[in-house]
């Protein structure tokens, strides 16, 4: 998988499609940098910063955070040490989510930093709903569990650190419905944008994580 070490990728898909899980696995396997804008924003929320307080309003309502709050953050990470001169690959998970964001990303990346792959994770909406409503997050270490697919040995308690498991406000059914609606209207159009650029690859993500990972690797060669 040597070629994936310098791959510069965007992972696209609806909430719950498995983008983050697969991005972490690819990062561990190949050493590329996994850049999750969701994680970055949640860190800001936890810190109580002005950016975090603003972002929390949108996240709790199941809406997308406005472009201006995240574009500078993502650009700074990509242009940071070890990434700005093509020294390593990266995966963007959660960005871009709108056409203006995609255009802004293209405008800021060129040469050795130009985007090489866009992977789309396809999953039926009814499956996504089940995945997200059952998801639980450790309040201490951030580990993610699922009441059906990845349960802990003791209900409500993290197997890794013993912390309390909670359900994110944006993983409740009403918020999920809003998030999927936003995805359909704002993010799905990116498929045509990247298909026209010749960098889009589509993966059937309604399968086991191992099967998805194997197919993913073939697209990142």
Identify the CATH number of the domain in which residue 214 sits: 3.40.50.300
Which of 24, 168, 172, 207 is the catalytic position? 168
Q: What is the pLDDT of residue 1?
A: 40
Q: What is the arithmetic mean of pLDDT over 38-62?
A: 82
Catalytic-residue membership of 168: yes
Residue 214 has pLDDT above 50, yes or no: yes
- 89 lies in some domain: yes
98 pLDDT tier (thresholds 50, 70, 90)? confident
Least-confidence region, from 49-58, 158-167, 192-201: 49-58
Residue 110 has pLDDT above 60, yes or no: yes
Q: What is the arithmetic mean of pLDDT over 185-212?
A: 93
- 99 lies in some domain: yes
- 50 lies in some domain: yes
Catalytic-residue membership of 179: yes
- 68 lies in some domain: yes
Which of 25, 97, 131, 136 is the catalytic position? 97
Compute the mean pLDDT over every residue in the chain, rounded to the nearest whole number. 86
Catalytic-residue membership of 131: no
Residue 109, domain extent: 2-124+173-219
Query: What residues contact 204, with CB distance under 8 A and at least 6 apart?
Result: 122, 212, 215
- 188 lies in some domain: yes
Predicted TM-score (pTM) of the model is 0.76
- 73 lies in some domain: yes
- 148 lies in some domain: no
Exposed/middle/buried for residue 130 (C-beta within 10 Å: 0-12, 13-18, 19+): middle
Domain count, the chain: 1
- 6 lies in some domain: yes
């Amino acid at each position: 998988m040597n070629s994936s070490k310098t791959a510069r990728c965007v992972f696209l898909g609806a909430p719950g499609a498995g983008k983050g899980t697969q991005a972490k696995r690819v990062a561990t396997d190949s050493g590329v940098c996994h850049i999750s804008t969701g994680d970055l924003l949640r860190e800001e929320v936890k810190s109580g910063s002005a950016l975090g307080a603003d972002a929390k309003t949108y996240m709790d309502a199941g809406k997308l955070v406005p472009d201006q709050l995240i574009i500078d953050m993502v650009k700074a990470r990509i242009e940071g040490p070890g990434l700005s001169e093509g020294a390593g690959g990266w995966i963007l998970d959660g960005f871009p989510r709108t056409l203006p964001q995609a255009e802004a990303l293209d405008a800021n990346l060129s040469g050795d930093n130009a985007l090489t792959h866009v992977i789309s994770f396809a999953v039926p909406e009814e499956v996504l709903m089940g995945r997200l409503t059952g998801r639980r997050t450790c309040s201490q270490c951030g580990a993610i569990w699922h009441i059906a697919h990845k349960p802990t040995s003791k209900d409500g308690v993290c197997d890794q650190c013993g912390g309390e498991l909670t359900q994110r406000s944006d993983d409740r059914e009403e918020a999920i419905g809003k998030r999927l609606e936003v995805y359909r209207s704002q993010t799905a159009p990116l498929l045509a944008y990247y298909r026209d650029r010749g960098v889009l690859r589509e993966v059937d993500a309604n399968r086991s994580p191992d099967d998805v990972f194997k197919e993913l690797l073939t697209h990142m060669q």
